[in-house]
Amino acid sequence: MIQDIIINGLINGSIYALLAIGFSLIFGVARLVNIAHTAFYMACAYLIHVGFSYWGLSMPLAIVLSIGLTTIIGLICYRLFIKPIREYEAAVLIATIALGMVFQEVMLIAFKGHMMGVPPVATGFVIVGGVKVANQHLLVLGVAVLTLLATWFLLMKTRVGLAIRCTAQDSEIANLMGMNVDREIMIAVIVSVVLAGVAGAIVVPLRVIDPHMWLPPLIMMLAVVVLGGLGSVKGSFVASYILGFTEAAVAIGVPMGSFLKGSVALSIMIIVLLIRPEGLFGIAFEEER
C-alpha cells in the first residue's frame, strides 16, 4: 500500500509541478495571476489531437508543433489582453479568467462536449516495487524532472535567468540598472506557456480531452502555488508533491471517499495557510523581497 501511495503520489505531483511552476514563474516575475495558464495546457492538448487524429501527423511532430503553436497563441494573448493592463493585478486576474472561458467556449463550439483522447507515446507498463506503472506515467515523471531541472538551470545559471530573477525581485530597480523589463517578462511568459504546453503534451494521452479539462488542474495548481508560497518556484515544487501524495493516499487508503481526494488536498492547503499564511516558501511582506 505504501508503495502504491509513493508511486502514484510521485506521478500526480509531477503533473501538478509542471503546471504550477510555469504559473509561479510568471507570477514571481511579472506579478501576473494568469488563470488562463491551464487553458494553454488544454489548447496544447487539443492541438495535438487535431495534429495527430485529423491531420495524420506523427505523435512527436504533433507534440512539437503544438507546443510551438501554443506558445505563439500565449504570446498573442499576452500582447493583446494582458500587457495593456499588466499594472493592474485585479484586472489581469479577471481578464485571464475571461480568457480561459473564451478558450473553453471556442473548444466547445469547435469540438462540442465530446470526450476525446490520443494514444500514449510510450505504451505498456513496468512493475516498480510491486506496483504496475504505465510507461507513459514514467515518461511524465522523467519529463517533469527534466523540465524542472532545465527551468532551474535557466533561472540560476544563465544571464537571462539572472535578469528574470532581478526583475522578479524589483522590476523598477532592474529597469534603472538598464535591464529590459518588458523583454524579461516576455521571456518569462514564453517559458511559462511552454511549460503549460509540455504539461498538456505529456499528460494528454493519460487524460480525456474535453472543453472543461482546464478547470480541475487549475484548482489544484492554484492550491499548489498558494501552499508553496505565491511566486516561489521551489515552494510550488514541494507543494505539488505534498498534494500529489495526499491525493494518492486518500484514493488508496479511503476507497469509499476517493471522490474526496481533491477536497482533502485542498483542506491540507487551508490548514497550512492557517499556520503559515504566506505559504511554505512564501514571503510574508512585500518589503522582504
Partner 1 sequence: MKRSSILWTIFLALILVAAAGAPCWAADPIRIAIIGPMQFTQGEGHWNGATMAAEQINKGGGISVGGAKRLVELIKVDSNEFLSIPDATNAMELAISRHRADFLIGGFRTEAVLVMQDIAMDNKKIFLGCGAAHPELCDRVTKNYDRYKYWFRITPINSKFLIKVDFLLLNMVAQVMQKELGIPKIKVAIVAEKAAWADPLVAVANENLPKMGMDIVGVWRPSPVATDATAELSAIQRAGANIIFTSFSSSVGIPFAKQAGELKVPAPLVGINVEAQKDGFWAATGGQGNYGLTISTYGPVKITEHTLPFFNEYRQRFKEAPNYTAGTYDAIDVLKAAIEKTGTLEADKLIPALEQTDLKGPAGRLAFSKDHDVVWGPGYTTGLGTQWQDGKNVVVWPYQWENITYEGTVPYKLPSWVMEHYKKK
- State the Cα–Cα distance between residues 150 and 199, nearest whole angstrom: 14
Candidates 50, 187, 196, 248; binder of partner 1 (CB under 8 A) is 248
Lookup: cell for 283: 514571503
From 129-137, 150-158, 172-180, 264-272, span contacting partner 1 (CB under 8 A): 129-137
Candidates 57, 93, 102, 116; binder of partner 1 (CB under 8 A) is 116
**62 binds partner 1, rule: CB under 8 A:** no
Lookup: cell for 36: 488562463
From 72-80, 105-113, 170-178, 186-194, span contacting partner 1 (CB under 8 A): 105-113
Candidates 90, 256, 274, 275; binder of partner 1 (CB under 8 A) is 256
Smallest distance, Å, CB 73 to partner 1? 23
209 pairs with which residues across the strands?
116
- State the Cα–Cα distance between residues 29 and 6, nearest whole angstrom: 33
The footprint of partner 1 on residues 26-55 (CB under 8 A) is 53
Amino acid sitting at position 177: M
Smallest distance, Å, CB 177 to partner 1? 45
**138 binds partner 1, rule: CB under 8 A:** no
**132 binds partner 1, rule: CB under 8 A:** yes
Strand (E) or helix (H) holding 81: none
Place of cell 480525456: 208
Query: If DSSP codes are grouped into helix, strand and coil, which group holds residue 277?
Result: coil
Residue 132: burial class (beta carbons within 10 Å; 0-12, 13-18, 19+) = exposed
Q: How many degrees, rounded to 5, is the angle at CA 8 between CA 271 and CA 278?
A: 25
Lookup: cell for 180: 529590459
- State the Cα–Cα distance between residues 112 and 54, nearest whole angstrom: 16
From 6-14, 148-156, 192-200, 278-286, span contacting partner 1 (CB under 8 A): 6-14
**158 binds partner 1, rule: CB under 8 A:** no
Residues making contact with partner 1 (CB under 8 A): 1, 4-5, 7-8, 11-12, 53, 108, 112-120, 123-125, 131-132, 134, 136-137, 205-208, 210-213, 216, 247-248, 251-252, 255-259, 261-262
